[in-house]
Amino acid sequence: MALGIKVFAPASVANVGVGYDILGFALDKPGDEIIAKFTNHKGLRITKITGAQGRLPYEIEKNTAGVAAQRFLEHIGEAGRGIDFEIRKKMPFGSGLGSSAASAVAGVMAVNELFNCPLEKRDLLPFAVLGEQVADGSYHADNVAPSLIGGMILIRDNTSLDVHRLNVPKGLYATVVHPKIEILTRDSRAILSDEVSLKGMIQQTGNLASFIVGMFNSDIELIGRSLQDVLIEPQRKKLIPYFDAVKEAALSAGALGCSISGAGPSIFALSANSLIAEEVGVNMKRVFKENKIRCTIYQSRINQEGAYKC
């Protein structure tokens, strides 16, 4: 029997401060792996999960990777084929790094690769979003889209999955600090107000539009001025201990901007180059360390490739 195939799907930073549910970028690492192989029995099975401390379900319809893969198998008329999944969870849960999105992307990628790519990567997006929906109950692609296709992705509309890749200025580098506390996306969404003030809407749309202009014009200063979330960060930062101090530490080390990664608790910063990004990481970590909170730092370019067979 064939050995099967292995795929990798990377972590991602959703919202990017100014684009709640509509902006996200991929990191090089960390990420999830899935090994998939054809078997003689009927249907998709998850036979092994590592790295999840028993927290991920083996039932297909309860597992983000399982649901993404199953919906795709139904779409291509192969739901009866025997396929086994081994999921290698290599990302923390409830981290704000798009952990469930990476699993969902890996699930649909694995099946597509197993069948020799009947669909283009981009066309796998709806299945991956359906998979991630199992985790937090909402339908948004700001983690899934960058994890799948890479890059800095703007989503005009989550329902129709009208997604667009932004230009990324040369050298732009991300630092992400993940404090070892867990925030469930569902909970972090539940605390948000449904109401937005007119003043807040004007500021946020100005910042989002200017951020996009800055990206396309490689205007680093404009990107920095635009990275200010006046709507979501003020509501969510109370969930993250020492958020203001960590942000201040990142900015004082030269970061262009700093905000909450996805639903938190991770905090991301963007910098003009990898050297500054390194210094930013050192400064952010120091704040958590001084306050006896364990944390992990990730540094990455904006990953342009997304998920891949490896």
The catalytic site residues sit at 132, 185
15 vs 303, beta carbon nearer ligand HSE: 15
Instruction: Tell me which stretch binds ligand HSE (CB under 6 A): 26-34, 55-63, 181-189, 242-250.
Output: 181-189
Out of 64, 70, 112, 143, which residue is the one contacting ligand HSE (CB under 6 A)? 143
Comparing CB distances to ligand HSE, the nearer of 17 and 66 is 17
What's the closest the beta carbon of residue 132 comes to ligand HSE, in angstroms?
8
Please choose, out of 36-44, 71-79, 185-193, 278-286, the segment that lies near ligand HSE by the rule CB under 6 A.
185-193
Long-range contacts of 62-65 (CB under 8 A, 24+ apart): 62/134, 63/87, 63/103, 63/107, 63/134, 64/100, 64/101, 64/103, 64/104, 64/107, 64/131, 64/132, 64/134, 64/135, 65/32, 65/34, 65/103, 65/104, 65/106, 65/107, 65/110, 65/131
Q: Is 262 in the site for ligand HSE (CB under 6 A)?
A: yes
From the list 63, 103, 133, 185, which residue makes contact with ligand HSE (rule: CB under 6 A)?
A: 185
Minimum Å gap between C-beta 170 and ligand HSE is 27
**What is the distance in angstroms between the CA of the first residue and the CA of the last residue of the chain?**
19
Which one of the spans 46-54, 80-88, 140-148, 290-298 is the region binding ligand HSE (CB under 6 A)?
140-148
Distances (CA, A) of 211 to 119, 173, 226, 247: 32, 15, 5, 19
Task: Let me know the angle formed at the C-alpha of 169 by 207 and 283, rounded to the nearest 5 degrees.
Answer: 75
Q: Check binding of 189 to ligand HSE (CB under 6 A).
A: yes
Q: Are 97 and 262 in contact (CB under 8 A)?
A: yes
Kindly state whether residue 178 participates in binding ligand HSE, applying the rule CB under 6 A: no
Please identify, using beta-carbon distances, which residue of 12 and 70 lies nearer to ligand HSE: 12
Over its C-alpha atoms, the chain yields an Rg (Å, rounded) of 19
CA distance 246 to 45: 43
* Residue 95 binds ligand HSE (CB under 6 A): no
Please report the sign of the dihedral spanned by the C-alpha atoms of residue 233, residue 234, residue 240, residue 244.
Answer: positive
Residue 231, both tokens: 């709507």
Q: Which is nearer to ligand HSE, 188 or 207 (CB)?
A: 188
Q: CA geometry: angle at 123 spanning 31 and 30, to 5°?
A: 5
70 near ligand HSE, rule: CB under 6 A: no
Which residue, 113 or 132, has its beta carbon nearer to ligand HSE?
Answer: 132
Window 20-49: residues binding ligand HSE (CB under 6 A): 20-21
Min dist CB 13 to ligand HSE, Å, is 9
Strands (E), 52-107: 83-88
Verify binding: residue 14, ligand HSE, rule CB under 6 A.
yes
Task: State the pairing for strand pair 23-38/5-14.
Answer: antiparallel
Measured from the CB atom, the residue of 15 and 299 that comes closer to ligand HSE is: 15
Beta pairing class for 257-260 and 152-157: unpaired
Distance CA 219, CA 58 (A): 47
Q: How far is the CB of 133 from ligand HSE (least distance, A)?
A: 10
Q: Which residues of this protein are in contact with ligand HSE, per CB under 6 A?
A: 14-15, 20-21, 136, 140, 142-143, 185, 188-189, 262-263
